[in-house]
Amino acid sequence: MYTYNEFVFGQNLFLNKELNLRVHDFGLECRYNINGKKFQLDHPYHGGQVAGDNLSVILGHSITDDDNNPEYINTVRNKKEEDYIKDYNEFVKLLKEELLTIKGTNEKMGEEFDKTIDDLIEFLDSTSPGFYTVEISS
C-alpha cells in the first residue's frame, strides 16, 4: 500500500468519527472552484484511512501533498488562514445549499441519509476551519 499526506484548509471531519464514516458511506461529495482554488467534499482513493478504521475524507481545499514534494514543509510553513477563509466560507455556503437540495430525495437511503445531511450541516456550523492533514492510501 502507498500512503501520503494532503495538507488541507477546511474542517476536519475526523473530529466526528461517526459522521466521517457516514459521509464516506453515503458517498456525499461535491467540488467547487472558487477564485482558482478547488474546494471539495471528497473521498480520495476509497479505502484510504486517516487513522485506524477512519476513512479519508477531505472537507475543504487541498493545498499540497508530500508525495515526492520537496517544497512540502516550506509550503505548509508559509500558509495563512486569511489566504483561504473568505473563499472557504463561500464554499460552505454553496455546500449547505447543495446538501439541502438533495435532502429528502433518496427514499432508498431513508432517514439515515437525511440525518447525515443534518449532522454535516450542524458540524459545519459548530466547528471552525483550520489547517489539517489527511492521510491517503491507495
pLDDT at 100 over 90: yes
**CA neighbours closer than 13 Å in the CB half-sphere of residue 106:** 18
Determine the pLDDT at residue 117: 96
Question: Using one digit for the tens of pLDDT, what is the confidence trace for 66-92?
Answer: 677 788 888 888 889 999 999 999 999
Question: Using one digit for the tens of pLDDT, what is the confidence trace for 3-62?
Answer: 778 889 999 998 999 999 899 888 899 999 999 999 999 987 655 555 556 677 889 998
pLDDT higher at 69 or 94? 94
Determine the pLDDT at residue 45: 62
